[in-house]
Amino acid sequence: MRKPVRKAVIPAAGFGTRFLPATKSQPKEMLPIVDKPTIQYIIEEAIASGIEEILIVTSSTKRSIEDHFDKSYELEDTLAKKGKNDMLEMVQNISNMAQIHYIRQKEAKGLGHAILCAKTFIGNEPFAVLLGDDIVVNDENPATKQLINAYEKNGCSIMGVQTVADEDVSKYGIMKPSKSHQPEGRLVKLSGMVEKPKQEEAPSNLAVMGRYVLTPEIFEMLETQGEGAGGEIQLTDAIDRLMDRQAVYAYDFEGQRYDVGDKFGFIKATIDFSLNREDLKHQVIAYLKELKQA
């Protein structure tokens, strides 16, 4: 019987250099989109996808992530005494969201190494990986849930992808579809991948977008994976090797993706999320109109 996907890993040990100086003393994952840290959106997606336990891979500078999802007795007591019950409930809900565990990546050896840190936590189970730089909005069918559904049908590792324009393929890892296997709707069997290819050399327009469901055999690949780009252990290199042992698929998931690890992507997410808030949208629209007329 196929084991269900119950656990997720969220790598959050990077330095966040693209957002310096803001990230000099604050984790990039704690930078807020309006009034909620980016990592909370990621965890909410995992929970909405049926994930029961989450491991966040952190570093020595990321203590505030643990504090955010922990109980805050002093704050809760203050809110209760002031009768701010809505805020009290919101704060309590954060600490009760899910079973969240933490492990430190003691050396900055790349995404593949960060995932390898989760081996004991995962055990011999399939698991999801959600990268913190990607927020995907799909309230009816979360991106991670779409990948889990695809895994449940074929029992193979699934890479979350989206179709990008020809001129954008050089920005991403691009999937190489198998020539011997016809796509099944949004599901495509893979024969390899190419990191940031030139437009004329790209094997497809399917770009990796920060969501994965992986079989536990990936850990065997990671344990023997040599250094790749940037002198780091790359997850994509290990997945490429996994294809020699078992089938790996890409799933072109549905949802609005925001690259919040990019400054403009972060600004775009802040504007769009504000426009979806009843308490903010009218002010934001009015301000945008002022800017347009200026």
Residue 238 lies in a domain: yes
pLDDT of the residue at 54: 96
User: Are 147 and 216 within one domain?
Assistant: yes
Paired tokens of 121: 């936590």
Whether the per-residue pLDDT at 228 is higher than 80: the answer is no
Q: Is 136 helix (H, G, I), strand (E, B) or coil?
A: strand
pLDDT of the residue at 161: 94
pTM value > 0.95: no
Question: Integer distance in angstroms from the first to the last C-alpha of the chain?
Answer: 63
User: Are 274 and 253 within one domain?
Assistant: no
Residue 1 lies in a domain: no
User: Are 275 and 144 within one domain?
Assistant: no
User: Are 246 and 272 within one domain?
Assistant: no
pLDDT of the residue at 61: 84
pLDDT of the residue at 279: 93
pLDDT of the residue at 67: 92
The radius of gyration of the chain's CA atoms, rounded to the nearest angstrom, is 20
User: Are 271 and 284 within one domain?
Assistant: yes
pLDDT of the residue at 196: 82
Question: For the chain, what is the mean pLDDT?
Answer: 91
User: Are 42 and 32 within one domain?
Assistant: yes
User: Are 212 and 293 within one domain?
Assistant: no
User: Are 227 and 281 within one domain?
Assistant: no
**Residue owning tokens 């893979």:** 190
Number of independent structural domains in the chain: 2
pLDDT of the residue at 59: 87
Question: 271 is in which domain, residue-wise?
Answer: 263-294
What distance in Å separates the CA atoms of residue 131 and residue 111, rounded to the nearest whole number?
9
pLDDT of the residue at 219: 95
Q: What is the pLDDT of residues 64-104, one digit of tens each?
A: 999 999 999 999 999 999 999 999 999 999 988 889 999 99
What distance in Å separates the CA atoms of residue 112 and residue 236, rounded to the nearest whole number?
8
User: Are 110 and 227 within one domain?
Assistant: yes
Q: What is the pLDDT of residues 175-221, one digit of tens each?
A: 999 887 777 889 999 988 888 888 888 999 999 999 999 999 999 99
User: Are 131 and 69 within one domain?
Assistant: yes
Q: Is 147 helix (H, G, I), strand (E, B) or coil?
A: helix
* Helix runs in the chain, H state only: 38-48, 63-69, 73-81, 85-95, 111-116, 119-122, 143-154, 218-223, 235-242, 263-275, 281-293
